[in-house]
Amino acid sequence: MKPAPFDYVRAESVHHAVRLLAENKDGARIIAGGQSLMTAMNFRMSSPALLVDIGELEHLRDITLTADARLRIGALTRHADLDASPDIAAHTPLLRKAIRHVAHTAIRNRGTFGGSLSHADPASELPACVMALDATIHIVGPDGDRVVPARHFFTGVHETALGAGEVLVAVELDVIKADEVSGFGEFARRQGDYAMVGLAAHGRIAAGLLTAVDLAFFAVGSTPILARRAAAALVDPATPDPAQRLQRAREALSLDLDPPDDPQSSAAMRMELARVLLGRVVGDMLARGAGA
């Protein structure tokens, strides 16, 4: 189908975009890569009166190391940039692992980091990654700038802490340290499809054992979910055997997750896939060891 008619403005700066959003209240919508918004508009599930295109704000596409050794990734960083950037590969390999699972090349050439987080699809990869990495989300709005922890950013299906009229400008995260390791896996029906179940994980290793880990499961609820009980079992000092830790973690997962039933996959199947994925991802992290 075709979208309903609308007006279109290319924003000249973030503040210009914020002003346009404020002046047009409910009728205005940001477009970044358009890879989710255009599909919704073509189906007329969304019919904004004004599109504010931030896609030409090239400075929002930068990836920089900050003075306090954090990586700042601009909201307009394309999925393809995440894939190609040596800084991403070296400093936050989790994003590099995850990005190849997002859609297909033509969509990765346009879709943006900020767009994916703002869109907050429960089955999408990047929201889970920023939760596992405990990243911060940097926002500019009519009342100035603010920073929201990624773990408080996702509030529901396609719902986030972004207020009307606010623009997500960047994500910041700690660069990976020598004793840290990250892991990623998902089950999807076809290459590039949204996940049926996915897991983004980041942890610390000493003497072949995990000493800390964050497990962000996605496509198992309305937002990515941190599996805290499973994570605690994986690092339990009282259990020295990694296989036993994993077994306890798999059991604990049913306390962390309560996946929904849908026509694509039943709750029981999702739960089983989450357990399988936990084993694979943790096994891979332990096998590779720290630093990757």
Ligand X SMILES: Cc1cc2nc3c(=O)[nH]c(=O)nc-3n(C[C@H](O)[C@H](O)[C@H](O)COP(=O)(O)OP(=O)(O)OC[C@H]3O[C@@H](n4cnc5c(N)ncnc54)[C@H](O)[C@@H]3O)c2cc1C
Q: Are 26 and 48 in contact (CB under 8 A)?
A: no
| 279 CB-near residues (< 8 Å, 6+ apart) | 246, 250
Cβ of residue 289: shortest distance to ligand X, in angstroms?
Answer: 28
Site string for ligand X, 126-165 (x = CB under 6 A): x-----------------------------------x---
| Binding region for another protein (CB under 8 A) out of 89-97, 169-177, 188-196, 209-217 | 188-196
215 part of the interface to ligand X, by CB under 6 A: no
Site string for another protein, 18-47 (x = CB under 8 A): -------------x--xx--xx-xxx----
**Binding-site partner at residue 32 among another protein, ligand X, none, CB < 5 to 8 Å by type:** ligand X
107 part of the interface to ligand X, by CB under 6 A: yes
* Cα–Cα distance, 226 to 154 (Å, whole number): 12
Contacting residue, 18, 28, 29, 246, with ligand X by CB under 6 A:
29
| Binding region for ligand X (CB under 6 A) out of 19-27, 30-38, 239-247, 261-269 | 30-38
The string over 83-116, giving b where at least 16 C-beta atoms fall within 10 Å of a residue's C-beta and e elsewhere, is bebeebeebbbbbbbbbbbbbeeebbebbbbbbb
Site for another protein in 110-139 (CB under 8 A): 110
| 243 CB-near residues (< 8 Å, 6+ apart) | none
* Cα–Cα distance, 18 to 10 (Å, whole number): 12
Nearer to another protein, 103 or 137 (CB): 103
Cβ of residue 119: shortest distance to ligand X, in angstroms?
Answer: 4
282 part of the interface to ligand X, by CB under 6 A: no
Contacting residue, 61, 91, 97, 119, with ligand X by CB under 6 A:
119
Decide the pairing of beta strands 159-160 and 154-156.
Answer: antiparallel
Cα of 242 vs its chain's centroid, Å: 28
Q: Are 126 and 113 in contact (CB under 8 A)?
A: yes
- Token pair of 37 as six digits: 């918004």
33 part of the interface to ligand X, by CB under 6 A: yes
* Cα–Cα distance, 106 to 110 (Å, whole number): 7
Site string for ligand X, 167-186 (x = CB under 6 A): xx------------------
155 part of the interface to another protein, by CB under 8 A: no
- Token pair of 144 as six digits: 């100035």
Site for ligand X in 37-56 (CB under 6 A): 37, 39
Q: Are 140 and 169 in contact (CB under 8 A)?
A: yes
- Token pair of 108 as six digits: 């990765």
Site for ligand X in 68-87 (CB under 6 A): 75
Of 105, 292, 111, 264, nearest in space to 197 by CA: 264
Please give the single-letter amino acid code of residue 2. Answer: K
Of 108, 163, 111, 113, nearest in space to 135 by CA: 113
Return residues touching ligand X (CB under 6 A). 29-37, 39, 75, 102-103, 107, 111-112, 114-116, 118-119, 121, 124-126, 162, 167-168, 192-194
Interaction site with another protein (CB under 8 A): 1-8, 31, 34-35, 38-39, 41-43, 51, 53, 55, 80, 103-107, 109-110, 190-192
